[in-house]
Amino acid sequence: MLNYPNGVNGENVRVFVLTGFLALTGIVCAPFQASVSQTGTFPTEAIAPVVVPFDMSQPKRPVIPSQQFSILEFGAKEGGTVKCTDAIQHAIDDAANAGGGTVVIPKGTWLTGAIHLESNINLHLAKDAVLLFSQDFNDYLPAVFSRHEDVECYKYSSFIYANGKENIAITGEGTLNGQGKLWWEWKKDTTGNEKELFAMAKNGVPVKERVFDGTNGRRLRPAFFQPMNCKNILVEGVTFLYGGFWTITPTYCENVIVRNIRIETEGAYGHTPNGDGVNPSSSRNVLIENCIFDTGDDCIAIKAGRDHDGLRVNKPTENIVVRNCKGLRGHGGIVIGSETSGSVRNIYAENCEFNGTDRIVRLKTARGRGGVLENMWFKNMSGENIQMEAIHLNMLYTGKRLPEQPVAPSTPRMRNIHFDNIKCLSGKSYAVELLGLPEMLIENISFNNISGNAEKGVHFSDVKGIEMKNTSFKAMKEPLLKIMNGSDITIDSMSVPESAQQFLKVEGEGSANIIFKNTPLPEAEKKISLGEGVSRQAVKLE
């Protein structure tokens, strides 16, 4: 609880909140005490219900007692030169010991090392408050249990960390500046450390022995905010700048809300290597909405464990909703994978815009990863200045197409994925590309009302059960549609440019039952090319 200075006591600063007004926010509305100058602002905007084609609990903000604790009362010094780590941590610990509450970071600049949240704590940044994270690597030790690129280990603490906690939040109108540039230098000389970690996992080295804390030259960069094994998490309103690695990565978590935030990992300070935005990992019931991303890597990347370690842990990611987000630079707008070993299912994303990202939607996995990517819906999205494939489903992420391999538990699967009303306004590669495996086809993919203005049109390889309806593509290079080992494909009402000289090229002995409906093709025989081994009956015009 606050220790009031200068004769101020709790009686003359007590503030009573109307419980009926704030009850809708999910924050407990009991009376609280605070210094007059430190009254915080709580999120009050109602969260719209999620309406999705799978069972998912409605998102609710964590319930946190409304009493407040100012870091000023614990000796924090403003200015950005004196470390406030102890003051912030003492405020968090005192609040936790009092049953929980809001730890207020006031207006100003506050230098800190790693911050560890406790249950029932809201870390609230006032308007114009800046948490400036130290560039002294020792401020993030001792090492903590983490996942690095979705492999379990012990490494430098994330800038804000929690493990096994409930009801935690980061809210406000302030900024968290990771000052990550010194960490980025590690990317050049720690690739071997990452390979060593992956080898440890492959060889079954116990997790407690996978320590990368600078000892013996082993070190791995920390995430910005990595809650582990936590429930009821809220991140709302704040801005994250320039972490050392991934920005927000809830891992083994449940009931997560990330909304109304901005993440920048690319810009004035340079390029953040692996500067992803929000990366849920082996977590469930997650809402990401109204966020803006300007990242050096994926804007949103949904993951579930990597290779041997991910198969060992075997925890899926499921029930994820993404809506009303915008992405500027970044490898992908919404990305699933490539770490997919525990499986990813039940994804619903809508009303998102991306300008300058490599892709709009990207699903990526590979032989050896395992897991199932299934039951996903992407609706009402647009992309401009897309640098690579606008929609990309790729099971060859770490290799080339090889002859059919034996199916094993490590063979990934990709199925039941649906795209509706997606527009690529301008792109530099395929508008749509699907790359399956000869031994494990991409199955049951639907496209409705898709338009693409790109360098190339559509490419399907090793697929089965594809439906395209009401689609339109303009491409600089032909053929407009290329199929390799694709079967049971129905194209209904596709708009074909009159200028197209070669519309369709089909290859592979596995290609069969390719049906075109309501798609006029004047001089079709001249515009359709069938490769060696492809039956004339493989393509039907109705």
Distance CA 389, CA 313 (A): 32
Distance CA 350, CA 315 (A): 25
Specify the 3-state DSSP secondary structure of 182.
Answer: helix
Q: Render the burial of 502-522: b for 16+ CB within 10 Å, e for the rest.
A: ebbbbbbebbbebebeebebe
Biggest distance spanned by C-alpha atoms of the chain: 92
Q: Within 10 Å of residue 139's Cβ, how many Cβ atoms?
A: 17
Tell me if 148 sits within 8 A of 197, measured CB to CB: yes
All residues at 6 or more sequence positions from 116 whose CB lies less than 8 Å from its CB, including other chains:
89, 92, 157, 160, 161, 162
Handedness of CA 146, 147, 153, 157 (dihedral sign): negative
Task: Choose the catalytic residue: 297, 298, 358, 462.
Answer: 297
Distance CA 507, CA 483 (A): 6
Handedness of CA 464, 400, 327, 261 (dihedral sign): positive
CA angle 426, 427, 433 (to 5 degrees): 130
Task: Choose the catalytic residue: 90, 308, 331, 459.
Answer: 331
Q: Is 111 exposed, middle or buried (0-12, 13-18, 19+ CB in 10 A)?
A: buried
Distance CA 537, CA 522 (A): 19
Q: Beta strands 442-475 and 413-435: pairing type?
A: parallel
Is residue 331 part of the annotated active site? The answer reads yes
Specify the 3-state DSSP secondary structure of 319.
Answer: strand
Tell me if 282 sits within 8 A of 54, measured CB to CB: no
Catalytic residues: 297, 331
